Amino acid sequence: MSVELSKHPTPQAEPPRRYDAIVIGAGINGMYQLIRLRELGLSVRVFEAGGDVGGTWYWNRYPGCRFDSESYTYIYSFSRELLDEWDWSEHFSPQPETLRYCNYVADKFDLRKDIQFNSRIRSAVFDETGDQWELETEDGRRARARYLVMALGPLSAPVMPNIAGIDEFEGESYHTGLWPHQPVDFRGKRVAVIGTGATGVQLITEVAKTVGHLTVFQRRPNWCSPLRNRPIASAEMRQIRARYPEIFARCMASEGGFMHVADPRKALEVSAEEREALFEQLYNTPGFAIWMGNFRDTFTDRAANDTISEFIARKIRERVNDPRLAELLIPKDHGFGMRRVPMESGYYEVYNQDNVKLISTLETPIERITPRGIRHGGTDHEFDMIVYATGFDAMLGSYNRIDIRGIGGQRLKDRWAEGPRTFLGIQTAGFPNMMMLIGPHTGASFCNMPRCGEENVDFVADLIRYTEAQGYTRVQPKPQAEAQWTAHVYKVAERLLISQTDSWFTGINRNIPGRDKRVFLLYGGGAPRYREKCAQVVASNYDELEFA
């Protein structure tokens, strides 16, 4: 038998393709970065692990997945034409609609011609002789570029729980962040869900509508608050469209890039009646109002925080029929809003259904996954399906799974072993020309993603333009500037109660070895302060950066 030789060289033998800039990730930020870099006249290649655009909205297809941001704030603002063309059908858009929006943008700006899909980057190595990054995909294709923009997404590396026997289960099993593209049917099935974060809460509420029997394995409960979603009629959408400038201005003025601005009063300087009135009003307001629009000391003063926690606990007790279950659903280890608040649409009422069972794994962890189900507290529970809503290796996982090496072959993973060190969360010393979007410590990390993400992208585009215009081939932070920014991030975090709580905000993930020390991953100083700092950096001609 003769073997026909390939007419094409193997990918490994191909010389690297050359571009001016490479972007990793074709989610919301990667797509906009491509548009901005194209405008600079650069040749750009985007590498995307998924089969199409959308990032988070491409991968997270689990039932119930939707925005917790008002749809009309989670939209690109850079093109008035685009704003005029797009209608949202709900105040908090469901995932399929958001993915359609991403596709619409990709079509409108003809983005796909510069995006290489199904291409996960394995390594990115800085070549000091040519001031170029060389990247290699998992299938061995190589590409080189002067600039490397990481649009990896803060929550894009799904994590399975470290429970023995996961591979032994013989039924269906899914991680919410890697949800299949074909519909999953829950009807008549015995389904287990592990995890009750923002994702688990959305999924559980939806699955409970059709499931045969649902068992929720909850480790630590979270404080959830009503989303109060509703459809947007076309007349209302026309009004929203006319108000876009005002909506964006309002988001810009808020700490978190949302439409909700903190109440200027302190919780304990008003009467109990006034407090109750505000809480009630916020509880009935759609979206993150209760998280972002609460008394201004809610997240800095424990006594103030106790007042809202007590209010939400009362709501949970009112909504859950069985008092024993209600107590299990009320967090005891942290106050309201110190971890990401899951937004819910009937979540607590799910536990009033006869076919739903809540098992707390706080005192007694899950023993193991068995071929037929889950062993807990010496009992074997049988299931047809297990859903893992166990979250992500937040902020760091998407970086750590790429072998990133900077000057002198230093690995980013090693440099950040004790926690990220960055300048503005956009660059890190020793890794020239590498820019991060919504990286750890950016203002965008604790913000309505597209609102602050767009600003991140614009900053990066302007920095690249400046570097090119000055004829430089290298840009990285001065060590002192990086040290100062990193210290500032920690100093700001110190006054926030969220920094005293285990969550992905503080880098805790006990499913990953070595990730049990709190390392603040976000920037808690607020979007306006971050924006001001970025503007100062630009105005100083990037004085805190080192060009060569």
Residues that bind ligand NA7 (CB under 6 A): 155, 161-163, 194-200, 219-220, 340, 361, 366, 389-392, 504, 511
What would the two tokens of residue 164 be?
């023995």
Spatial contact of 405 and 434, defined as CB atoms under 8 Å apart: no
The least CB distance from residue 189 to ligand NA7, in Å, is 21
Q: Three-class SS string for 320-334?
A: CCCHHHHHHHCCCCC
**Residue 451 three-state SS:** helix
Least distance (Å) between residue 235 CB and ligand NA7:
32
CB of 181 to ligand NA7, least distance (A): 19
Contact call for residues 453 and 426 (beta carbons, < 8 A): no
Give me the least distance between CB of 390 and ligand NA7, in Å please: 4
**CB-wise, 289 or 461, nearer to ligand NA7?**
289
The CB-nearest residue to ligand NA7 is: 197
Residue 19 in tokens: 């571009």
Shorter beta-carbon distance to ligand NA7: residue 163 or 240: 163
What's 115's DSSP letter? E
* Residue written as token pair 């007349």: 235
- The minimum distance between CB 223 and ligand NA7, in angstroms, equals 12
Using CA atoms, how far apart are residues 317 and 313, in angstroms rounded to an integer?
A: 6
Tell me how far CA of residue 248 lies from CA of 62, 81, 102, 130, 245, in angstroms.
Answer: 29, 16, 19, 41, 5
In Å, the largest CA–CA distance within the chain is 90
Q: Measured from the CB atom, is 34 or 325 closer to ligand NA7? A: 325
Return the number of the residue (155 or 211) whose C-beta is nearest ligand NA7: 155
Rounded to a whole number of angstroms, the minimum distance from the CB of residue 228 to ligand NA7 is 18
Residue 352 contacts by C-beta under 8 Å, 6 or more apart in sequence? 320, 321, 322
Q: How far apart are CA 327 and CA 341, in angstroms?
A: 18
Q: What is the DSSP string of 350-396?
A: HTTSTTEEEEE-SSS-EEEE-SSEEEETTEEEE-SEEEE---B-TTT
- Give the N- to C-terminal CA distance of the chain in Å, as an integer: 58
Helix (H, G, I), strand (E, B) or coil at 427: strand
CB closer to ligand NA7, 46 vs 292: 292
Residue nearer to ligand NA7 on the CB measure, 200 or 453: 200
Q: Given the complex with ligand NA7, which of 115 and 496 has the nearer CB atom? A: 496
Q: In the bound complex, what is the minimum distance in angstroms from residue 283's beta carbon to ligand NA7?
A: 20
Q: Which of 376, 377, 373 is nearest to 173 (CA)?
A: 373
Q: Which is nearer to ligand NA7, 353 or 511 (CB)?
A: 511
Taking the complex as a whole, the smallest distance from the CB of residue 301 to ligand NA7 amounts, in Å, to 23
Place of tokens 């700490």: 255
Q: Is the C-alpha dihedral spanning 467, 471, 474, 477 positive or negative?
A: negative
Compute the least distance from the CB of residue 366 to ligand NA7, in Å. 6
Nearer to ligand NA7, 456 or 467 (CB): 456
Whole-number minimum distance, CB 81 to ligand NA7, in Å?
30
16-32 burial code (b ≥16 CB/10 A, e <16): eeebbbbbbbbbbbbbb
Instruction: Tell me whether residue 251 or residue 464 sits nearer to ligand NA7 (CB atom).
Output: 251
